[in-house]
Homo-oligomer: A and B are copies of this chain.
Amino acid sequence: MKRRPVRYVWIPVIIALLAVPAGFLYVDWSKSGAGDGLYSRKWSPESVFAYWNPKAFYTSVETVSGVFGGPQCVNCHQAVTPGIVRDWQASRHAQPADRGPVYCSACHGNNHENLHLPTPEVCGSCHAARHAEFEDEKRFGFPSHALAMERAQDAPHFVDKPKAEVSACLQCHSVATKCDSCHTRHRFSAAEARRPEACITCHSGPPHPDDETYFASAHGRIYLAEGDSWDWSRPLVKGNYRAPTCAYCHMSGGRHQVADKSMWKFGIKQINPLTSNNAVKRKQWVVLCSDCHAADWSRDRLAELDAERKQAWEKLYAAEAVLKGLRKDGLLSPAAGERPPYPNDWLDTLWPRARIGFFEGQASAFYNVSPIERDYFEMWYFDNLGAYKGAAHGDSGAVSQGHAAMDNALKAITHQAARLRSAGEEEQGETAASAELWRSGEYTDFNREHN
């Protein structure tokens, strides 16, 4: 009798030994289609993608042929595109004293029929430490700059949504595939990348109003008033800047690793702020804030952020509970079975289920859903994340606005749920009509045909 548990132990082991390689094989097969990402057999990116994944897509201009040396590149492009030549001339790459000149050909190749755009690896061939720091972010999981492109493209909704819209997402997620997201070409200035403007091309607007919340903070206001007169050639260390910028706090000392102090995971899911892992990160924050503030004060601010997060999740879970009640009673319309399954998602086809909340995967399930589920998505993705960014960056206005918006969303969701519960016969028409729109409308047939 004692040996039976031991024998049973082999069952999951054998399943794992078969399932894990099978999973890898499946993902490998799935990514090897004509398109790109995990759904490469159903989705291919737009042509603009070439500039976001230079290695795989770039097709050279055919009007010029020949092999050219660096000075020749400069000579010709001074007439064709003088702006970028001036940028290069003003860069460290053009200074002989600074191990230069690093000519165009060093990064783009010298055969004009076979030029390429530089990937992070190309930049890393000289800037090895920075590239290693950047790659190191992958250890911390998503959200992460280094994983930004891959994880975005693997999202199921890429297949179902209009290409123009998901391309808009990829524009920023291309931070993973090229260095000129932060260091604008062809000056590639460190001084420039130390300023908030380097970050806010992407870090602005819902769902991540980093721009707005930083500029509305006391830090940001000082930067706005005086930043133009600061000496941006100085490193990002204690005493060099009157107020911190994005990079000062998130890349202190210029380290190209943004994720190592990250505790709250962008506000997208509830985290336990008191794990030993987070205790270490918390200490790192207190050390950083102590460049200017008292340590106790800094600890208090972090605790306040924890409190804000807790309150946000109370609101979000209250809304989730309302939705789960509706799901249980079959009141979501269109119900999971009435809308198209996710591509390649066998489980969703066999057992359609409404995903409610982040852990069930609602992050990817915000189209083809019932109106009330969409309302929750907005509450979670826009109102909640806006409040988080406000709390993290010291913009009390954004905290108030985000929480007021969550309160209103909770009010609307509760209101709407009560109406769905009390709806009599005459609402069935609405249900049917509304289901029809989402079942076969733009967001499924059309997009799948054109993706």
The residues of A with any CB-CB pair to B shorter than 8 Å are 46-48, 51, 59, 61, 81-87, 162-165, 167-169, 171-172, 184, 187, 192, 195, 197-198, 200-201, 204-206, 216-218, 221-222, 224-226, 228-229, 238-239, 241-242, 290-292, 294-297, 300-301, 303-304, 307-308, 311, 314-315, 318, 367, 371, 374, 378, 390-391, 396-401, 403, 407-408, 410-412, 414-415, 417-419, 421-424, 426-431, 433-434, 437, 441-442, 446
Instruction: Tell whether, in the assembled complex, residue B442 and residue A315 are in contact, meaning their CB atoms are under 8 Å apart.
Output: yes
Question: Would you list 13 pairs from A and B whose C-beta atoms are within 8 A, ordered by A residue?
Answer: A47-B304, A48-B301, A81-B238, A82-B238, A83-B239, A165-B399, A168-B399, A172-B396, A200-B216, A315-B442, A418-B429, A419-B427, A421-B430
Instruction: Tell whether, in the assembled complex, residue A415 and residue B87 are in contact, meaning their CB atoms are under 8 Å apart.
Output: no
A427's partner among B226, B422, B427 (CB-CB below 8 A) is B422
A398's partner among B205, B295, B318, B446 (CB-CB below 8 A) is B205
Question: Which residues of B lie under 8 Å from residue A192 when comparing CB positions?
Answer: 225-226
* CB nearest to A428 among chain B residues: B422
Kindly state the separation between the CA atoms of A303 and B46 in the bound complex, as whole angstroms.
Answer: 10
The 4 A-B residue pairs with the shortest CB-CB distance, nearest first, are A82-B239, A418-B430, A197-B225, A205-B397
Instruction: Tell whether, in the assembled complex, residue B168 and residue A400 are in contact, meaning their CB atoms are under 8 Å apart.
Output: yes
Question: Which residues of B lie under 8 Å from residue A303 when comparing CB positions?
Answer: 47
Contacts A164-B304, A291-B81, A292-B84: A200 and B221 contacting too (C-beta < 8 A)? yes
Chain B: minimal CB distance from A215 (Å): 9
Question: Which residues of B lie under 8 Å from residue A294 when comparing CB positions?
Answer: 61
